[in-house]
């Protein structure tokens, strides 16, 4: 579903230059990319300018807006391949398969957020500004369209440098230090369970929450799959859960306490609160 021609894309870029840093830039920017390949769900957001992503522009179907604003922005973003790519200082163009860990499409995150959002495929451009600030341009397809073809991904990759340059120029002010805030939710992710788990068990939990399979987590941690699975059993016992799904639920419940202190384990605060309420 490659659209238009190279000439149409060049024409749209020349028009974009005229609207840089204007309020209508974002919409024109996304529409110009459709001259290369179509999509029906798009979001431009900034990471690192607040405790949650700052939405700069969205083109979301009303049917799926709740999944984004009520789930993604309220904590699910921490586990997303896009956010993890940002934390790993990635730059450029990516397909979801390139960014997601092995096992992601069978993970709780994929089932509880990604599928609920209606997305069947996704590509994104990521521009790091430094000072912990980055812009991500997410282009996705819901069930109304087929997945991106190999040729479409190649076409979108071919305009990577132009897209990144336009993003850098239009949102360059976001790199200013005045926009930086403490990322409580990211701290909550780092601290979740640390009051009861060993460092290696914490590493295993982080991999599980990001959707990694045992094999993928073991490779990331530099251990055998059997050792990683033994960590999972210990984690289940220490957290008093019986499944990956329950850990996922426990993590999101603990985010209610994410702003109580940078060095606190939100899980211990959740458990303490539960004792008091009883």
Instruction: Judge whether 86 lies within some domain.
Output: yes
The pLDDT of residue 277: 52
Instruction: Judge whether 1 lies within some domain.
Output: no
- Give the CATH number, domain containing residue 18: 3.30.450.80
Instruction: Judge whether 271 lies within some domain.
Output: yes
Expressed as residue numbers, the domain containing 39 is 6-179
Instruction: Please state, in angstroms and rounded to a whole number, the distance separating the CA atoms of residues 253 and 67.
Output: 17
Residues 162, 41, single domain; the answer is yes
Instruction: Judge whether 125 lies within some domain.
Output: yes
Instruction: Please state, in angstroms and rounded to a whole number, the distance separating the CA atoms of residues 226 and 218.
Output: 8
Burial pattern 173-197, b for ≥16 Cβ within 10 A else e, equals ebbeeebeeebbbbbbbebbbbeeb
- Domain count for the chain: 2
Residues 158, 42, single domain; the answer is yes
Residues 201, 169, single domain; the answer is no
In order along its 278 residues, the chain shows pLDDT tens digits of: 445 555 667 777 778 887 888 889 999 999 999 989 999 999 999 998 877 888 999 998 877 787 788 778 877 888 889 999 999 999 999 999 999 888 887 877 777 777 777 888 999 999 998 778 999 999 999 989 999 999 999 999 999 999 999 999 899 887 664 444 446 677 888 888 999 999 999 999 988 888 888 888 899 899 999 999 999 999 999 999 888 778 878 888 887 777 666 678 888 888 877 765 54
The pLDDT of residue 63: 77
The pLDDT of residue 128: 94
Q: Are strands 119-130 and 133-142 parallel, antiparallel or unpaired?
A: antiparallel
Among 154, 179, 204, the domain boundary falls at 179
Task: Write the burial class of residue 21 (CB in 10 Å: 0-12 exposed, 13-18 middle, 19+ buried).
Answer: exposed
> Which residues in 40-118 belong to E strands, given as ranges?
41-47, 54-59, 92-95
Residues 119, 188, single domain; the answer is no
Question: What is the sign, positive or negative, of the torsion defined by CA atoms of 85, 61, 179, 166?
Answer: positive
Residues 107, 171, single domain; the answer is yes
Query: Whole-structure pTM over 0.75, yes or no?
Result: no
- Give the CATH number, domain containing residue 225: 1.10.10.10
Residues 98, 24, single domain; the answer is yes
Among 123, 158, 179, the domain boundary falls at 179
Among 144, 179, 214, the domain boundary falls at 179
The rounded radius of gyration (Å) of the Cα atoms in the chain is 20
Residues 14, 129, single domain; the answer is yes
Residues 44, 150, single domain; the answer is yes
């Amino acid at each position: 579903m490659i659209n238009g021609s190279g000439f149409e894309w060049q024409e749209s870029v020349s028009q974009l230059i005229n609207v840089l840093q204007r309020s209508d830039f974002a919409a024109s920017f996304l529409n110009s990319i459709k001259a290369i390949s179509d999509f029906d769900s798009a979001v431009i957001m900034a990471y690192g300018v607040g405790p949650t992503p700052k939405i700069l522009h969205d083109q979301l179907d009303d049917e799926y807006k709740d999944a984004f604003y009520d789930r993604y922005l309220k904590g699910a973003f921490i586990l997303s391949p896009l956010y993890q790519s940002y934390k790993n200082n990635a730059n450029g163009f990516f397909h979801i398969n390139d960014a997601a860990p092995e096992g992601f499409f069978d993970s709780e995150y994929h089932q509880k957020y990604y599928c609920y959002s209606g997305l069947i495929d996704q590509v994104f451009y990521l521009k790091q500004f430094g000072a912990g600030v980055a812009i991500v341009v997410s282009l996705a397809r819901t069930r109304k369209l087929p997945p991106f073809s190999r040729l479409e991904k190649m076409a979108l990759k071919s305009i990577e440098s132009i897209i990144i340059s336009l993003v850098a120029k239009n949102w360059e002010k976001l790199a200013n230090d005045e926009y930086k805030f403490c990322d409580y939710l990211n701290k909550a992710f780092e601290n979740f369970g640390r009051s009861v788990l060993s460092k290696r068990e914490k590493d295993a939990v982080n991999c599980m929450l990001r959707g990694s399979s045992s094999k993928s987590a073991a490779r990331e941690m530099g251990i055998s799959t059997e050792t990683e699975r033994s960590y999972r059993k210990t984690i289940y016992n220490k957290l008093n859960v019986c499944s990956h799904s329950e850990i996922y639920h426990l993590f999101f419940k603990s985010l209610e306490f994410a702003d109580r202190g940078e060095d606190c384990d939100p899980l211990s605060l959740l458990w303490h609160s539960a004792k008091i309420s009883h």
